[in-house]
């Protein structure tokens, strides 16, 4: 055993700091541009926003520097950039929507507060979870928590139905989507569960047409996951979350077992569930028809049509901050924020935003690849993939690539639970990445060991 020179990864915290400042600058510039575009002046609240963004971005950076010094240096600036752009767009939509109707609710301030809470949550996760492998011990706790969180909107008194989907709960003055938190809990649960069971799920089975199909008795977990997803669809009328949770589970199952057969089984179950949903629920049919031909019923499909009009109006270079009319689209500040971005920043801007999302996913999967423990690998892969799937489903829905389903656009869409939980996801990814890239603890080697070596290895 020759002693190799230990590879010590560079921390690159300086690069992270520089990129963070750049990302904050993008957000603040966007905010100023909104004011210039709508009123011709730099908005009065810019100092407040700039101060909050700079202080909390720097705090987030310092937290990473302190407790996760080897973490990936690109993730934090990427999400700060997205978050800043989202804040500017929500502020811009507040202005536009009040112009249409002075009584419309304003979201910019609360979104800024939620962003701050999100960064605090980010710091808390990094401080509390010093080693992600500890989470594995709490596998079933997280599984239980996920089920409780998923059930909460169905409870009387606190559960609320908004726009046909029963996915909200009331916490005092705030409403919260527990599904966002459930996503993280489920990812941890799946990772912990599959690490233990993967051998059983991977080894037994029979081979049909070149694909290893699992045994019938091993289908239990995937059927359970499928039933939970169908349950979400049936009881909460939430197509997007249903798709997201099932996709997350199937993919983690595939990664854990390395058997594409699970994808086949999952795909078939998904097709069955989708078919059932289409037949059973009129709103699924409406969404599907709106996707096939939105202009067949312009009144009913006004939202998707408006989103498309906005994108087309933006064209290649966009209208510019504050100079389009994204406020004409219903829910332009949440579900349709991608269309709002496309209208004001154009094809160019929207492609840049998608690339930022793509980079986040890429960094997440890279963390999964380099991670040394199975639990961390699975968790990082699951979180990164769920992030990708979520972006695909919501942006694809808004731009009519796939039928529209309600999911939030991570870091940009208005909504507290989404922002906070996505910050927590980034914290988890950074934690795993820190563990991965951290140099192995020094193990003192004794020269005398050489003499006791019985079998020469090299």
Partner 1 sequence: MNRPIRYLAVACLVMFVALLANINYVQFVQADSLNDKNGNKRVINEEFSRDRGAILVGDEPVAESVPSKDEFRFQRKYTDGRLYAPVTGYFSYIFGRGGLENSQNRVLSGSDNRLFVNRVVDLISNKKPKGGSVETTLNPLAQKVAASGLEALGEDTKGAVVAIDPSTGAILAMVSQPSYNPNVLASHDFSEVEDDWRRLTGDEDQPMLNRGTQQILPPGSTFKLVTAAAALENLDLDPDDMVKAGRTLSFPGISYELTNLDNGTCGGNRITFEKALMVSCNVSFGDLAGKVGQDDMTAQARKFGFGTDALSGLAANPSRFTAEGTDLEAPQLAQSGIGQFEVATTPLQMAMVAGAIANGGDVMRPHIVKTLRAPNLRVLDETEPERLSQAMSSSNAAQLTSMMVKTVNSGTATSARIPGIDVGGKTGTAQSTADRPPYAWFVSVAPADDPKVAVAVVVESSSTARSEIAGGRLSGPIARSVMEAVLGK
> Does 254 help bind partner 1 (rule: CB under 8 A)?
yes
Q: Residue 399 and residue 455: Cα distance in Å, rounded?
A: 63
Specify the residue, 114 or 270, whose C-beta has the smaller distance to partner 1.
Answer: 270
Specify the residue, 24 or 395, whose C-beta has the smaller distance to partner 1.
Answer: 395
Q: Report 346-405 residues binding partner 1 (CB under 8 A).
A: 346-347, 350-351, 354-355, 357-358, 361-362, 365, 368-369, 374, 377-378, 381, 384-385, 388-389, 391-392, 395-396, 399-401
CB of 433 to partner 1, least distance (A): 14
CB of 377 to partner 1, least distance (A): 5
CB of 295 to partner 1, least distance (A): 7
> How many CB atoms within 10 Å of residue 139?
19
Specify the residue, 65 or 133, whose C-beta has the smaller distance to partner 1.
Answer: 133
CB of 309 to partner 1, least distance (A): 5
Q: HSE of 223 in the Cβ direction (CA atoms, 13 Å)?
A: 7
Please report where in the chains the tokens 């304003």 appear, as a residue. Answer: 106
Please report where in the chains the tokens 């349950």 appear, as a residue. Answer: 231
Q: Report 51-80 residues binding partner 1 (CB under 8 A).
A: none
Specify the residue, 164 or 260, whose C-beta has the smaller distance to partner 1.
Answer: 260
> How many CB atoms within 10 Å of residue 184?
23
**349, 318 Cβ separation under 8 angstroms:** yes
377 Rama class: left (phi>0) / alpha (psi -120 to 50) / beta = alpha
CB of 401 to partner 1, least distance (A): 4
CB of 87 to partner 1, least distance (A): 22
CB of 258 to partner 1, least distance (A): 5
CB of 14 to partner 1, least distance (A): 28
Distances from the Cα of 182 to the Cαs of 212, 337, 417, in angstroms? 31, 23, 11
Specify the residue, 230 or 338, whose C-beta has the smaller distance to partner 1.
Answer: 338
CB of 371 to partner 1, least distance (A): 9
Specify the residue, 234 or 359, whose C-beta has the smaller distance to partner 1.
Answer: 359
**89, 340 Cβ separation under 8 angstroms:** yes
> Does 255 help bind partner 1 (rule: CB under 8 A)?
yes
Q: Mask 289-328, x = binds partner 1 (CB under 8 A)?
A: ------x--x---------xxxxxxxxx-------xx--x
Specify the residue, 159 or 221, whose C-beta has the smaller distance to partner 1.
Answer: 221
Specify the residue, 112 or 395, whose C-beta has the smaller distance to partner 1.
Answer: 395
Which backbone phi and psi does 73 adopt, to 5 degrees?
-85, -5
* Count of residues touching partner 1 (by CB under 8 A): 49
> Does 124 help bind partner 1 (rule: CB under 8 A)?
no
**DSSP state letters, 314-358:** HTTT-S-TTTS-GGGSTTTTTTTHHHHHHHHHHHHHHHHHHHHHH
> Does 256 help bind partner 1 (rule: CB under 8 A)?
yes
CB of 392 to partner 1, least distance (A): 4
Q: Residue 194 and residue 254: Cα distance in Å, rounded?
A: 10
> Does 231 help bind partner 1 (rule: CB under 8 A)?
no
Specify the residue, 115 or 409, whose C-beta has the smaller distance to partner 1.
Answer: 409
Read off the DSSP letter of residue 237.
-
**DSSP state letters, 47-103:** HHHHHHHHHHHHHHHHHHHHH-TTS-SSHHHHHHHHHHHHHHHHHHHHHHHHHH-TT
Q: Residue 44 and residue 64: Cα distance in Å, rounded?
A: 32
Please report where in the chains the tokens 């409870």 appear, as a residue. Answer: 155
Specify the residue, 281 or 309, whose C-beta has the smaller distance to partner 1.
Answer: 309
Please report where in the chains the tokens 């009129």 appear, as a residue. Answer: 282
- H or E element, residue 212: strand 211-213
Q: Report 140-179 residues binding partner 1 (CB under 8 A).
A: none
Nearest to 322 by CA among 104, 88, 45, 49: 88
**432, 132 Cβ separation under 8 angstroms:** yes
Specify the residue, 251 or 413, whose C-beta has the smaller distance to partner 1.
Answer: 251
Distances from the Cα of 79 to the Cαs of 116, 122, 232, 352, 392, in angstroms? 13, 12, 29, 13, 17
Q: Mask 398-437, x = binds partner 1 (CB under 8 A)?
A: -xxx------------------------------------
> Does 32 help bind partner 1 (rule: CB under 8 A)?
no
Q: Residue 190 and residue 182: Cα distance in Å, rounded?
A: 12
CA angle 423, 12, 118 (to 5 degrees): 10
Specify the residue, 174 or 295, whose C-beta has the smaller distance to partner 1.
Answer: 295
Please report, as ranges, the residues that interact with partner 1 according to CB under 8 A. 251, 254-256, 258, 295, 298, 308-316, 324-325, 328, 342-343, 346-347, 350-351, 354-355, 357-358, 361-362, 365, 368-369, 374, 377-378, 381, 384-385, 388-389, 391-392, 395-396, 399-401
């Amino acid at each position: 055993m020759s002693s190799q020179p230990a590879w010590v990864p560079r921390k690159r915290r300086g690069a992270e700091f520089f990129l963070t400042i750049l990302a904050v600058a993008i957000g603040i510039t966007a905010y100023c541009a909104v004011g210039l575009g709508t009123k011709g002046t730099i908005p009065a609240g810019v100092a407040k926003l700039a101060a909050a963004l700079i202080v909390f971005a720097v705090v987030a950076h310092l937290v990473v520097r302190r407790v996760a010094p080897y973490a990936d240096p690109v993730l934090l600036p990427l999400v700060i950039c997205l978050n800043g752009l989202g804040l500017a767009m929500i502020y811009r939509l507040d202005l536009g929507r009040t112009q249409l109707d002075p009584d419309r609710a304003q979201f910019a301030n609360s979104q800024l507060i939620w962003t701050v809470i999100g960064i605090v949550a980010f710091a808390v996760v990094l401080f509390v979870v010093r080693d992600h492998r500890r989470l594995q011990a709490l596998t079933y706790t997280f599984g239980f928590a996920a089920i409780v969180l998923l059930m909460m909107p169905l409870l009387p008194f606190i559960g609320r139905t908004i726009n046909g989907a029963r996915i909200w709960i009331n916490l005092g003055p705030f409403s919260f989507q527990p599904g966002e938190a459930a996503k993280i809990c489920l990812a941890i649960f799946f990772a912990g569960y599959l690490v233990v069971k993967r051998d059983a799920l991977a080894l037994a089975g029979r081979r049909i047409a070149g694909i290893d199909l699992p045994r019938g008795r091993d289908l239990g977990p995937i059927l359970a996951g499928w039933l939970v997803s169908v349950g979400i669809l049936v009881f909460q009328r939430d197509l997007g979350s249903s798709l997201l949770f099932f996709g997350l589970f199937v993919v983690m199952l595939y990664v854990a077992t390395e058997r594409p057969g699970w994808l086949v089984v999952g795909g078939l179950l998904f097709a069955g569930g989708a078919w059932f949903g289409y037949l059973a629920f009129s709103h699924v049919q409406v969404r599907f028809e709106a996707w096939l031909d939105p202009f067949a019923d312009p009144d009913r499909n006004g939202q998707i049509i408006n989103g498309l009009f906005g994108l087309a109006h933006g064209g290649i270079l966009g209208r510019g901050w504050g100079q389009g009319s994204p406020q004409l689209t219903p829910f332009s500040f949440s579900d349709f924020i991608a269309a709002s971005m496309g209208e004001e920043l154009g094809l160019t801007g929207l492609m840049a935003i998608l690339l930022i999302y793509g980079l986040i996913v890429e960094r997440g999967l890279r963390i999964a690849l380099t991670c040394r423990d199975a639990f961390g690998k699975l968790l990082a892969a699951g979180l990164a993939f769920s992030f990708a799937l979520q972006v695909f489903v919501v942006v694809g829905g808004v731009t009519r690539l796939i039928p529209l389903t309600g999911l939030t656009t991570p870091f940009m869409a208005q909504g507290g639970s989404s922002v906070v939980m996505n910050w927590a996801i980034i914290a988890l990814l950074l934690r795993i990445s820190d563990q991965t890239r951290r140099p192995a603890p020094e193990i003192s080697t004794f020269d005398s060991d050489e003499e006791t070596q019985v079998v020469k290895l090299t």
